[in-house]
Homo-oligomer: A and B are copies of this chain.
């Protein structure tokens, strides 16, 4: 049997709180016998959600009481200073204290990042944690970061993101030597702003598998494994993709419900449309890592249902198995070492 894993869940976070977290937790403990989950939130409420479960599951679904909840639009500083007994904070504390190996929350991104950074601290050599997620591409997945943690980034930050992205792509999707591209508005060296030009220099000197500048289209065409950008560009791009997917889905439905004939045509091709929907289902990509911390912290989409939240738990398990933070530290040391040697030459 696989080595036991314990993960804490912010059971009150997200738009749906325990309504999506608890079913996801039950599903995952059913599926993985080596998994224990600690549900953090209001004791009585969570007990009610777990009532009637067989003992073999109930034993691996613990409850840890926390009296407060961070609201979805609460300012990060207020959550951090004012709500020390929030489900989010307590769930992260469990990782800090060694009671859990990873934490998953669907709560407010800003508060999660601020709390994660405050409680867990960043890894040595990492100035700022970043948000990374797998995005579906023609070849499988592209790992993209930062998706919104840092609006303004220095070349050094982008360089650190590239290292973290390489480790995650290697760890989660078993890509031996992931290709890394720097997002820009053209592939030529003269293109882009000063920050990306300087970051390109750092990456060219590194031992990463850096392939140069990539463009927006390359996120999807399978040309590159890891796409590095600042949190402003990353977040806008991610949300634009969400918006476009939603619009296309809407248009497909509209076209098929136009009249009696198109409805029949829609019904006939329903199995194919369903398969298509499954393949593009954003829920199977839910779960972004807040990388660069001394601990594993996974952000689920605020609107995640139980299927999507379960996927975020799956990603947390993978990061635990592959010891992502330890591997980032190791790669960072060889890189810093390598660069210092180069500078010494």
Contacts and interface: CB of A to CB of B under 8 A. Distances in A.
Interface of A: 73, 75, 136-138, 148, 151-152, 183-185, 188, 190-194, 215-221, 229, 231-233, 235-248, 250-252, 255-256, 258, 262, 265-266, 268-269, 271-273, 275-276, 279-280
B237 A236 contact: yes
Given A240-B241, A271-B265, A276-B251, A216 B233 contact: no
Contact of A152 (B193, B245, B250): B193
Pairs A-B, 9 closest by C-beta atoms: A216-B239, A216-B240, A220-B243, A217-B243, A269-B269, A185-B235, A265-B269, A151-B193, A220-B247
Contacts of A235: 185, 216
A237 B216 contact: yes
A148 to B, nearest CB: 6
Nearest to A231: B185
A220 B237 contact: no
Among the interface residues A218, A231, A240, A280, which one has the most CB atoms of the partner chain B within 10 A? Answer: A240
Among the interface residues A152, A192, A216, A242, which one has the most CB atoms of the partner chain B within 10 A? Answer: A216
Given A151-B193, A255-B275, A256-B272, A185 B236 contact: yes
B240 A217 contact: yes
A148 B185 contact: yes
28 contacts: A136-B247, A152-B193, A183-B236, A185-B232, A215-B236, A216-B235, A216-B237, A216-B242, A216-B243, A217-B240, A217-B243, A217-B246, A219-B243, A220-B240, A220-B243, A221-B246, A233-B236, A240-B241, A244-B244, A244-B245, A248-B248, A252-B276, A255-B275, A256-B269, A258-B272, A258-B275, A262-B272, A265-B269
